[in-house]
Amino acid sequence: MKGTLVVLGQHNGRAAAARMVDGQLDDLLIDADDDRPAPGAVFRAVADRPIKGQGGMFLRLGDGLTGWHRNAKGMAPGDILLVQVTGHAEPGKAVPVTDRVLFKSRYCIVTPGAPGLNVARSLTDDAERDRLLEIAHDTLPERGDHGVILRSACDGVDADALIDDLLATWGLAQQVLGDAGTTPERLLDGPDAQTLAWREWEGTDVSDDWDIVADQVEALRSPAVQAGPATFYIEPTRALTAVDVNTPEGGAGGLKANIALARILPRQLRLRGIGGQIVLDLAPMPKKDRKGFESALRAAFRSDPIETSLIGWTPLGHFELTRRRERRPTEDLL
């Protein structure tokens, strides 16, 4: 199976979406079975109490939820503000939020408080950029203090489809921003799995045959990943995720196994919904080969959509990285 295929279906009665690239599972989204807010949800929040020395503030979100705002400069207890969920919280921890609320759809992003009309930098054709800007300006001539970013998915899109998307996203933003309540409340849910897939994934080939991906989804229950003679074990713990590289090959085989890990690690972390601290226990290799491994790892993460920071080497020879917790662990969802 060549090319990209988006598969829509259900897992245990919950909406799910999978992206296949050349027959291989490349991304996976499954709705949770509880009411914990997903990234993108918007709340009317009330500032509760600051944390001295950290510059953050706990917020009351309603629904019995507590939010955590990392930058509370100029904020005082009792202040009312709109916030958006930025990631998944671990059980027992506050929900991470930001007051930089964005309204994102397939073709556009509405940016409250950041005026302007812009096109994604990845669209480099001047004629196409001018066409898209003209459509957006004619559709939303009066934007006030709010801005619009036209996303890369706009490239070549039909004008009517873009207009419909702009009007719908702008209308939703105005509805939420016009809220005049004073108590903590959830104003907008985050997108479900299939909506998020439509918004973020490229590709027009769509199937509703979940059996296509069922076996590869089930394989994610195992910590083991086979790549040639090497086996990788990806095992989350309470504090961090450990990735162990095992290979029967010695000498140059260690570097070969580590490079293989670098190439598949972003996809495996994405599929497994893993974020936070990640420690790589690599196969033995000479220190002179470390730069080559780092280059391969950096190149692999360059196209991954989830923010990941490569921290570096520990005294024991492990490699550390941190990754934004944008998703619930797939193990929990399965």
42-98 falls under which CATH superfamily? Nucleic acid-binding proteins (2.40.50.140)
Q: Tell me what pLDDT residue 291 has.
A: 95
This prediction has a pTM of 0.88
From the centroid of its chain, how far is CA 131? 30
Question: What are the average pLDDT values for consecutive 10-residue runs of the chain, which has 334 residues?
Answer: 91 94 95 90 95 89 92 90 91 91 97 96 95 97 95 95 97 95 95 95 89 95 91 94 89 88 96 96 94 96 94 96 93 91
Instruction: Indicate the domain borders of the chain.
Output: 4-31+202-214, 42-98, 103-179, 222-333
Q: Do domains 42-98 and 222-333 have the same CATH topology?
A: no
Assigned token pair, 333: 């969802």
Sequence-distant (≥ 6) Cβ neighbours of residue 32 within 8 angstroms: 14, 38, 328, 332, 333
Query: CATH assignment of 222-333, given 3.40.630, 1.10.20, 3.50.50, 2.60.120?
Result: 3.40.630
> Right CATH number for 103-179 from 3.30.420.10, 3.50.50.60, 3.30.230.10, 3.30.950.10?
3.30.230.10
User: What is the spatial distance between Cα 165 and Cα 169, in angstroms, rounded to a whole number?
Assistant: 6
Instruction: Name which of 320, 217, 307, 301 is nearest 263 in CA terms.
Output: 301
Largest CA distance in the chain: 66
